[in-house]
Structure 1
């Protein structure tokens, strides 16, 4: 298999990869700030953020889906969920006809703490998104989705190779 990183890249391709790297670094730094703001370990803050986002979009997470999103095993997710539940930030519920299925929901306290953080942190990001044209957003969204699918495909392939 030829190493694609040994091939000659066009300047625009390098620039796109650098922009994605810069976004990943900036987003990780913002997550660190959220972690400090919430006074939680980074992993816990990231998990809580995933639960909050999923809940607000109307697609709440199960512990298994949370583990997939944050790259943790089911046992590790159970310990993490236990910590967040003990801190009063997360609640497990059984909302489905199959009572074995657990749904993770943020508590009102978690929603309030996240709201306060977003009030302080989101101005620049909101301005960047709202200052972009519909065409820019559509092109960016398509590219980011393509890159996310490629990264997910690579992860799936690598996991299978290790099994």
Structure 2
């Protein structure tokens, strides 16, 4: 990936438009999380966490509390409190599924899955329609682009976290 100074680069109109659309998608998706929270009677943070648990479980890769903490950007202690809240509310359960009985995974309850499915039946129609009307070539190009953007953002986040914790950084202040 080329090392480009974002402050001195002359950006093309399409590049700027893409960044604006990515921001708009992030904002709209966050609003959906807020609506899910209202739908299920929980905070947006809890709804986001439950969504992460549901998506991981659906992908066949249930989350550990530590992995959930990394995905939602919370400390392990704060995530433990959050998981306790979700468990008390009947939305998730902790499981010891592997041969290492110390390893805990999180699973959504049947009630949480049913409530999420009811929400998606109402809220997911437009997104499902937009995906279905997309040409497979367009989707593959979007996947490649989003993978590059995610890799770039992850590298920036890693560099910033190292800087915050006193590690070395190659970035210079402007």
Give the TM interval when normalised to the shorter protein: over 0.9
For residue 94 of structure 2, give the secondary structure of its aligned residue in structure 1.
Answer: strand
SS in 2 for 1:65: helix
CA RMSD of aligned residues (A): 1.2
CA distance in 2, matches of 1:49, 1:2: 35
The alignment covers a number of residue pairs equal to 163
Confirm or deny that 1:139 pairs with 2:134: no
CA distance 1:127–1:2, shift in 2 (3 Å):
closer
Q: How does 1:10-49 map to 2 (within 5 A)?
A: 10-49=12-51
Give the structure 2 partner of residue 67 of structure 1: 69
Structure 1 counterpart of 2:128:
126
Q: CA deviation at 1:28?
A: 1.0
Look up the SS of the partner of 2:60 in the other structure. coil
Distance in 2, matches of 1:146 and 1:38, equals 34
SS at match of 2:93: strand
TM-score in terms of structure 2 length: 0.91
* SS of residue in 2 equivalent to 1:88: coil
TM, length-normalised to structure 1: 0.97
Q: What stretches of structure 2 of length at least 5 have no aligned partner?
A: 166-174
Match of 1:4 among 3, 6, 11: 6
